């Protein structure tokens, strides 16, 4: 049974992180409004287990620990991109700071990476935004696979699950994703 809302995507393609524990309230919000099932947004946490803030980081506290607009107390803005699944679990999609605006559309690069990694032959991928030859922002995807993949087939698979404006304009298969000494993507 496909309950994901994406054509051709199976239950096993998800990366659920579970459900909220007792005494915690979890919200997924975008632009101050709660998101419905399947709609990506920022993962926010409120309730008894939320910390008071970061030690000696007043500016960061003001950004991350805010008054809860959906209930009582304080709310922690995690900076993580997530969405509710129909079964009540939460699916992690990446980081909000990987969210970009291209041609008026807000795009979550982590969601694109999640969709690409769900394609059978793909081992890993990295999605970035950079200026194309015309100077316009464009989405680039770098794919890692043990076999040669057809980029047109990848594009077709993505078009089944995502709107056209989220499909990378440029794709390239590479041997491995370059990382820094800390293990982060070396953009």
Q: What is the pLDDT of residues 45-75, one digit of tens each?
A: 998 888 888 888 888 889 899 999 999 889 9
Phi then psi for 10, rounded to 5 degrees? -95, 165
CA distance 80 to 48: 20
From its phi and psi, is residue 161 left (phi > 0), alpha (psi between -120 and 50) or beta? alpha
Nearest Cα residue to 118 out of 137, 138, 139, 91? 91
pLDDT in the model for residue 84: 93
Percent of the chain's residues with pLDDT above 90: 41
Q: Residue 98: its pLDDT value, please?
A: 64
pTM score, two decimals?
0.56
Please say if the pLDDT value at position 173 is more than 90.
yes
Determine which of 7-11, 89-93, 135-139, 162-166 has the lowest per-residue pLDDT on average.
7-11
Long-range contacts of 111-117 (CB under 8 A, 24+ apart): 111/40, 111/81, 111/162, 111/166, 112/139, 112/141, 112/158, 112/162, 112/166, 112/168, 114/15, 115/6, 115/158, 115/161, 115/162, 116/141, 116/143, 116/154, 116/158
């Amino acid at each position: 049974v496909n309950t994901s809302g994406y054509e051709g995507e199976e239950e096993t393609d998800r990366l659920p992180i579970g459900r909220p524990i007792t005494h915690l309230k979890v919200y997924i919000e975008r632009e101050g409004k709660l998101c419905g099932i399947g709609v990506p947004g920022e993962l926010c946490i409120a309730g008894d287990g939320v910390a008071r803030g970061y030690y000696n980081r007043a500016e960061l506290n003001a950004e991350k620990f805010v008054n809860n607009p959906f209930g009582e107390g304080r709310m922690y803005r995690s900076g993580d991109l997530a969405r509710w699944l129909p079964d009540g679990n939460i699916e992690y999609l990446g980081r909000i700071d990987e969210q970009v605006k291209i041609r008026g559309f807000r795009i979550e690069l982590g969601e694109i990476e999640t969709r690409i990694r769900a394609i059978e032959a793909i081992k890993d991928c990295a999605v970035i935004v950079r200026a194309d030859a015309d100077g316009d922002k464009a989405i680039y995807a770098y794919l890692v696979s043990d076999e040669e993949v057809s980029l047109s087939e990848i594009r077709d698979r993505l078009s089944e699950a995502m709107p056209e404006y989220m499909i990378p304009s440029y794709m390239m298969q590479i041997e491995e994703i370059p990382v820094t000494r800390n293990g982060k993507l070396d953009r």
